[in-house]
Amino acid sequence: MVMPDKSADIGSAIARIHDGASVMLGGFGVPGTPFCLIEELVRQGAKNLTIIKNDANEMGMGVDWLLENGQVSKLVASHIGLNARAIAMMNDGALQVEFVAQGILAERIRIAGAGLLGFVTDIGMGTPLAEGKEQVKVNGVTGILEPALKADFALVHAETADTFGNLYYAAAARNFNPLMAMAAQCTIAEAETIVDQGQIKPENVHTPGPFVDQLVALKQLPEVYGVVRR
């Protein structure tokens, strides 16, 4: 059985992202960050975005392009310390930042993809991370109720994809990508190589095709990817 071909041009894929949308961006620093999709999002200029990413990238790349272009109203991240612009915007009140401990961020995204409403943890109890959050008792232990974190869109980067959207990520570039692909209403993937269906071994499929809505082929990787020969 031949499944649908989800290939799309980058312009029409990103055009789906509207003003006020919440957008998850895969990646941990450079590895796994969908820079070409982000660049197109900057070009098209959707405003008032909520960006969810592990980090704010460094100055001059990725998330920073969106910040410089005035497209982000809120950033949900584990840390922003490598991006002076993000820090300055936060301090000036131009950017709302929600800090989420890295493991908590990953789990909030994971459970959203699994269809759960939230989870309870004692991590962060007695710290500023617990302020304003609902607390519940489980077996006599008080914990924080962490809500699932969903998004309207997820942009992810894969090394290899087939035309149905089954994705393979290279090494550490997997990071947040599979979690985010499952937690968004619409997932757009960019891939370095696109092959025919059946060409990726089942055990190498990190994100199954049903979680991918559109697939963009990368003709070449710009310098920002910092790619080395594997």
194 to 31, 93, 161: CA distances (angstroms): 19, 42, 5
Q: In this structure, are residues 207 and 177 in contact, taking their beta carbons and an 8 Å threshold?
A: yes
204 to 93, 162, 173, 201: CA distances (angstroms): 44, 12, 14, 5
pLDDT (0 to 100) of residue 129:
81
pLDDT (0 to 100) of residue 220:
85
pLDDT (0 to 100) of residue 226:
82
Ranges of residues in the chain whose predicted pLDDT is under 70: 227-230
- pTM score of the predicted model: 0.95
pLDDT (0 to 100) of residue 229:
52
